[in-house]
Amino acid sequence: MNKTFTSLFKNASIKDWQDWRWQFKNRVTGLESLVKLVGKTCLDKAGISAAAAVYPLAINPYYLSLIESYHESDPVFAQCVPSLREISSSDSMPEDPLQEDSHMPVPKLIHRYPDRCLAMVTETCATYCRHCNRKRFWSRPNHVSLKARLQKMMVYITANPQIREVIISGGDPLIFDDNALEKLLSSLKLIPHVEILRIGSRAPVVMPMRITKDLCKVLKRYRPVWFNTQFNHPAEITKESARACNMLQEAGIPVSNQSVLLKGINDSSDIMKDLLNDLQKISVRPYYLFHCDPARGCAHFRTSPKAGVVMMETIRQQCSGLCLPQYVLDVPGSAGKIPLNVMSKAIKTDLKKHQHFFDKLQ
């Protein structure tokens, strides 16, 4: 049993703890309950309260239990506890940096690339990640039912035969129960040209008990289903999260990881290398490392692309190719994700050193 769990949630049984519904129901959503639980006076209560008034607070008990020190230097704390820095008056970043709102042919369906679209099936998450580029939606959730939301999406996808892949995202789609997810997957599967379903969810990281045998059975029925999650720090890879990923893999669902490069959290080559090696150990493919989007409320998480390139170059020289994600910058429109690590200075120098090899190839 998790030590922090017994001290934080004294009235919860192990059965409660392992039940994702209990986890979701017992999310910490207010400063008072956070202070009551962690009982620390070192929290910046005024800062948390001011930031949470703009970008709401939600942390489910399991993710809260991963915090080792109640301070912004803790990688889990920094990802989930609101900070005054989120509402800095000098933050002039746009709310919607990827201009997703202007690529919605029907509400909540983002169509940026011809062959795939992203269905935002909810605005809610088990834990709100402070670096989220969709944090603009937290305080104005769309209360339209999933059924009503899907109706227009289905009509649009059906009328656009070039769409072969649908990304089911949010918010976090795994806040829905298995029945709702089954309805969602089965309706998409009925559209003849939809070949691939992809789920984007942080559940394996923040609420791994959501990955149950029953959920895996549902997902298995609609394969090919690809699963993308977001581990950002080695401290998030626990026995529970490894078990969740393994269950998905055993159901034939490939699991890939899309980290975000976050200042003070994973922007050192040692930490990033540990994260990538640990992901490889649990057979999760490091797919993308996103340069943090210039979204309002996230400026304090951003590094310079140059620092990211240098870090990735150090890692490239020390890690197996299987561990290496593509370091990318997402840009608005259909230009998509621009690889940042392909032409670092070090690579150019390496290329020059081996020029004779390339000459021979010509």
Q: Which residues are catalytic?
A: 112-113, 116, 125, 129, 132, 134, 293, 330, 337
Q: In angstroms, give the least distance from the CB of 201 to ligand SF4.
A: 7
Binding string, 80-119, against ligand SF4, x = CB under 6 A? ----------------------------------------
| 129 contacts ligand SF4 (rule: CB under 6 A) | yes
Q: In angstroms, give the least distance from the CB of 120 to ligand SF4.
A: 9
Among 48, 121, 132, 199, binds ligand SF4 (CB under 6 A): 132
| 170 contacts ligand SF4 (rule: CB under 6 A) | yes
| 128 contacts ligand SF4 (rule: CB under 6 A) | yes
Query: Binders of ligand SF4 among 191-210, rule CB under 6 A?
Result: 202
CB closer to ligand SF4, 74 vs 172: 172
Among 172, 182, 236, 278, binds ligand SF4 (CB under 6 A): 172
In the sheet with 109-113, reading across from the earlier edge strand, the strands are 109-113, 116-120, 165-169, 196-200, 225-229, 255-261, 285-291, 326-330, 337-339
Applying CB under 6 A, which part among 95-103, 129-137, 243-251, 308-316 lies near ligand SF4?
129-137
Contact (CB, 8 A) for 27 and 64: no
Token pair recorded at residue 310? 């240098």
Angle at which helix 239-250 crosses helix 213-221, to 10 degrees, equals 30
Q: Cis ω on the peptide bond leading into residue 161 (within 30° of 0)?
A: no
Q: How many CB atoms lie within 10 A of CB 144?
A: 13
Q: In angstroms, give the least distance from the CB of 206 to ligand SF4.
A: 7
The distance between the two most distant Cα atoms of the chain, rounded to a whole number of Å, is 71
Q: For residues 287 and 2, what is the distance between their CA atoms, to the nearest angstrom?
A: 30
Among 125, 194, 207, 289, binds ligand SF4 (CB under 6 A): 125
Q: What angle do CA 265, 136, 148 make, to 5 degrees?
A: 125
C-alpha radius of gyration, the chain, whole number? 21
Contacts to ligand SF4 by CB under 6 A: 125, 128-129, 132, 134, 170-172, 202
